[in-house]
A = this chain, B = another copy of it.
Amino acid sequence: MNISSASQQSGLPLKTIRYYEDISLVRPARAANGYRDYSHADVHLLKFVQRARSLGFSIDECRLLLSLYQDENRASAEVKALALAKIEEIDSKIADLKSLRATLSTLAAHCHGDNRPDCPIIDDLAGRS
């Protein structure tokens, strides 16, 4: 099928699908006229990547997941390790964001937020504690 059908079925933008071919992530056949020709299996792979990306896996991680997906003899432990590492990454990001939030929240709470120029947020940024 043409790229636009593949796009509809996978939920990925045209540009993204072309990009995935560029970086040899999902490579379709070519029709006689030079058009990309996606098989159902290709679309399946595109969907696979779409899901993995939406779960926060990087392109390189997707590449690994795809190879594991296509490896009949893979050990599920390898995939699980990848998922657990991702969870740790996510936890770390969440912790960072929470700490950020707390700081900003404290600053905002001390700012009266009116027409006067005094502002504890600015003061803090300026290093006046």
Q: A residues touching B (Cβ–Cβ < 8 Å)?
A: 44, 47-48, 51-52, 55-56, 65, 68-69, 71-77, 79-81, 83-84, 86-87, 90-91, 93-94, 97-98, 100-101, 103-105, 107-108, 111-119, 121-122, 124-127
Contacts and interface: CB of A to CB of B under 8 A. Distances in A.
B80 A111 contact: yes
Given A69-B126, A87-B105, 4 more contacts: A56-B104, A75-B117, A80-B111, A83-B107
A14 B117 CA distance: 33
Contacts of A90: 97, 100-101, 104
Contacts of A113: 76-77, 80-81
B101 A94 contact: yes
* Chain A at the B interface: SS class: helix
Contact of A112 (B72, B76, B87, B121): B76
B80 A121 contact: yes
Contacts of A44: 126-127
Contact of A65 (B52, B100, B122): B122
A89 B124 CA distance: 20
B87 A119 contact: no
A86 B68 contact: no
